[in-house]
Copies of this chain bind each other. A is one copy, B any other.
Amino acid sequence: MVRTGQGPGRPRDSEIDEAVLGAARELLAEVGYAAVTMDAAAARAGTSKAAIYRRYRSKAELLFAAAVHSPAPAPTADTGSLAGDLAALARRVLSDMTTPAAREVAPQVVAEVARSPEAARRLRDVFVSGERAEVDAVLDRATGRGELPTRPDVATVHRVLGGALFFSVFVIGEEPDEAALADVVDLLVAGLTTRSTLPS
């Protein structure tokens, strides 16, 4: 019994998938999050609201998908040192966060996550795990170089680095400049290279 992965019934029209996503992207760029209307998105995509809601559970999810272009995040380059790698990673994450689209969409996604456990799961699968994997790779390289006394807990490092960036941009409301970013990374590197991590 071969499971084709396709259930019974009429299959989704992939052209509509793209049309919807494209329309959402355009509208988001043109008028901004608040002014995007589901009706307008449907109209521009040449379809109906129902078709959109079959694909996304809310406006926040649609525009989240629209704002996220590259499902293949370029893995952080190997700069040769933990400090360099973390700085590079931090810069990339920060630049992703400060995209016009991301600036508007991310807070809404956080709000959505609070309402829907399912949205929370999806965010974790799409974003959190991806970021964590990148942090993991950086720590792997540093461990390989012998820069670290013990292997730090990935979750901790991710929490601290990602948290500092997210918090700065979306809660404090001021994007850290290059010096502030360096200060955070410096603090993190100093901590990692000094202590022995507690067992998680």
Measured CB to CB, the residues of A under 8 A from B are 34, 103-104, 106-108, 110-111, 113-115, 120, 123-124, 128, 152-153, 155-160, 162-168, 170-173, 176, 179-180, 182-184, 186-192, 194-195, 197-198, 200
The quantity of this chain's copies bound in the complex is 2
Q: Are A187 and B160 in contact (CB under 8 A)?
A: yes
* Interface CB pairs A-B, < 8 A, 13: A107-B111, A110-B110, A110-B171, A113-B170, A159-B164, A159-B176, A162-B163, A163-B164, A163-B167, A180-B200, A187-B188, A187-B192, A189-B191
Please, how many angstroms separate the alpha-carbon atoms of A45 and B164 in the complex? 40
Q: How far is the CA of A115 from the CA of B170 in the complex (A)?
A: 11
- DSSP class of A's interface residues: helix, strand, loop or mixed? helix
